[in-house]
Amino acid sequence: MITQKDVKYIASLSRINLKEQEVGRLTKNLEAILHYIEKLKKVDVSQVQPTSHVFPLNNVFREDVVQPSLHQDKAIKISQNHHQGSFKVPKVIE
Amino acid sequence: MNLFEHPAHELLDLLKAQKTSAQAIFESVFSHLKQSDKNIKAFVRLSHQLPDFGPAVPSRNYPIPIALKDNICVEGQEVTCCSHILEGFKPPYDATVTQKLKKSGALILGNTNMDEFAFGSSTENSYYGPTRNPWDTACVPGGSSGGSAAAVAAHEAVWALGSDTGGSIRQPAAFCGVVGVKPTYGRVSRYGLIAFASSLDQIGPITKDVTDAALLLNIIAGYDERDSTSVNVPVPDYTKALINDAKGLKIGIPKEYFIEGMDPEVKQSILEAIDVLKKKGAAFKEISLPHTEYAVATYYIIATAEASSNLARYDGVQYGLRLQPQETRKSAIVDMYEETRDQGFGPEAKRRIMLGTYSLSSGYYDAYYLRGQKVRTLIKDDFDQAFKNCDAILTPTAPTTAFRIGEKANDPLSMYLSDIYTISANLAGVPAMSLPCGFSKNGLPIGLQIITQSFAEEMMFRIAYTYEQNTDWHKRKVGQK
């Protein structure tokens, strides 16, 4: 049902450089799990609304008031790669 | 009895009577921790700053030594979710629960072991290696909050916080013979809890008895505007719900839970627990939660989909690990993302990210994710229906006692099924707790689960307290027979 080619494609969507030796094992694992999940196909959901959240909370607003917040100097320090207040990344534009 | 063996409410009584001091409590627990944890390995890191007991420090209301699961932020203290990818990450702020604990005077000991990003039910999926069950060190402590549950069972902490997405507080509490509470979704702020599945995650107490669980929930519960999913309803004093009486209460036993796969010793303990509560006036009736069979499958769609999205942020740019491969495959930046994520995540994390990505991907979304959300509605409706006829639902917490380290490590699906009794409460958002209700003949603890309606934690505590006060499982200590 799920092929090694599918697994490589999902790995690339997930931004994981999956090594060749992992592909076979993961294909087998995912196949077993997806097979188990197939049982949901037996449930009639034609008249059912989806639940993304258990309480009917929507549009949670707050007053637009200026408050102290985390300072950039402090926030940027979570990265070991920062320069002049920005995150440093490998060259993007050739 | 040593100071470190007492539950917090007894320590608070001793403090009130001036028979001990905050410093004496801390030192007793901390020195025991350092000795005991060489064997148990519940902690992955101790706090870099130990509490100050100098004369200038204002007195603390709750000077109780507490362990935090390694996914709860303390400003400046490394936190990694026991993943290589977050190594070295020091959050620049406190979680809301951390702030509340600091304000209450609780003494934070350090971070406890967990399955990487809370992906697991045994604490074996940790970058730092497994934790051992204090009752039998060849067994797992459960998971994912296995370090927190083992720490409390081994008296290395008086209190602990865990997080529960599909049973990650309750199942390890059951395996380790302690009390674990998953509050109603939205009862405790998730601000500063590193996210796994945002619509399911809740922080909750792991303690030595029910009274302590009520005390600790009093401290951490409440609305927080920094978590827009926290719910703005008043927090009662949960200790007022500790009533030793079940007269007039109607408790449901879901027939779908008493099925093949349940260990006969677990079943026997639950039947005996029912008798204890009957003697205290509770009436029991069989109920039905017809979609129980679909809970695990639904969970593994929703939880992994949310996880794949939440974990997209670990790309080597901002947090922890960054790796650049030698050769160029795609482009320098994409290669960096992909190498960092391949090396930084363990096998279970990769499995879940990929499963989640698959079920959200084009062409599969309707068949998996959307269908999963619809079945979730049916599971939630089951609970709404059931609570029209009963005040609480009683079940085992897990189908078996603690399994052996390595036993399920190569079979992800069988590991997933160990959460079969706990997952539904997360999907429905309702509160649930586990408390000790016996031991197997091998000396391993068995857990009783009580589930109530959303924001009915007081009912849950009342039933748990009544059961506890009429049994003495909670008084049994590791090392005693």
Q: What ipTM goes with this model?
A: 0.95
Minimal C-alpha gap between B367 and chain A (Å): 8
Domains belonging to chain B, first-starting first, are: 3-243 (3.90.1300.10)
Q: Do A51 and B377 touch (CB under 8 A)?
A: yes
Q: Do B338 and A17 touch (CB under 8 A)?
A: yes
For helices B295-310 and B371-386, the axis angle rounded to 10 degrees is 120
Residue A57: pLDDT band with limits 50, 70, 90: confident
Question: Which H or E run includes A86?
Answer: strand A86-87
Q: What pLDDT does B395 receive?
A: 97
Contacts of B93 in chain A (CB under 8 A): 70
Is position B41 annotated as part of the catalytic site? no
Contacts of B368 in chain A (CB under 8 A): 37
Of the two residues B255 and A60, the one the predictor is more confident about is B255
Domains belonging to chain A, first-starting first, are: 1-43 (1.10.20.60)
Contacts of B378 in chain A (CB under 8 A): 43, 45, 48
d(CA B27, CA B34): 11
Q: Which of B3-17, B313-327, B372-386 has the lowest mean pLDDT?
A: B313-327
Minimal C-alpha gap between B37 and chain A (Å): 30
Task: Determine contact: B413 vs chain A, CB below 8 A.
Answer: yes
Minimal C-alpha gap between B192 and chain A (Å): 13
d(CA B295, CA B242): 31
- Burial of B391 from C-beta contacts in 10 A (0-12 / 13-18 / 19+): buried
Which tokens hold the place of B333?
């930046």
Residue B288 and residue B309 in contact, taking contact as beta carbons nearer than 8 Å: no
CA B451 to chain centroid: 15
B17, B206, B480, B377: which is closest to A53 by C-alpha?
A: B377
Residue B43: pLDDT band with limits 50, 70, 90: very high
Q: Which residues pair with B205 in a beta bridge?
A: B161
Question: Which H or E run includes B161?
Answer: strand B159-164
Minimal C-alpha gap between A42 and chain B (Å): 10
Residues whose CB falls within 8 Å of the CB of residue A28, separated by 6 or more in sequence, listed in order:
none
Of B104, B168, B269, B440, which is the active-site residue?
A: B168
Is position B144 annotated as part of the catalytic site? yes
Question: Which H or E run includes B205?
Answer: strand B202-207
Residue B322: pLDDT band with limits 50, 70, 90: very high
Q: What pLDDT does A60 receive?
A: 83
Residue A53: pLDDT band with limits 50, 70, 90: confident
Task: Determine contact: A70 vs chain B, CB below 8 A.
Answer: yes
Task: Determine contact: A79 vs chain B, CB below 8 A.
Answer: yes
Cα maximum dimension of chain A? 57
Is position B208 annotated as part of the catalytic site? no
Find the Cα–Cα–Cα–Cα dihedral A44, A49, A54, A60, rounded to 10°: 170
Task: Determine contact: A65 vs chain B, CB below 8 A.
Answer: no
Q: What pLDDT does B412 receive?
A: 83
Q: Which of B174-178, B184-188, B300-304, B414-418 has the lowest mean pLDDT?
A: B414-418
Please determine, for residue B479, whether its predicted confidence score (pLDDT) is greater than 80: no
Task: Determine contact: B75 vs chain A, CB below 8 A.
Answer: no
d(CA B21, CA B340): 48
Q: What pLDDT does B68 receive?
A: 98
Q: What is the pTM of this model?
A: 0.97
Task: Determine contact: B375 vs chain A, CB below 8 A.
Answer: yes
Chain B interface, best mutation among A5, A6, A17, by max B CB count within 10 A: A17
Q: How many helices (H) and strands (E) does chain A have?
A: 3, 2
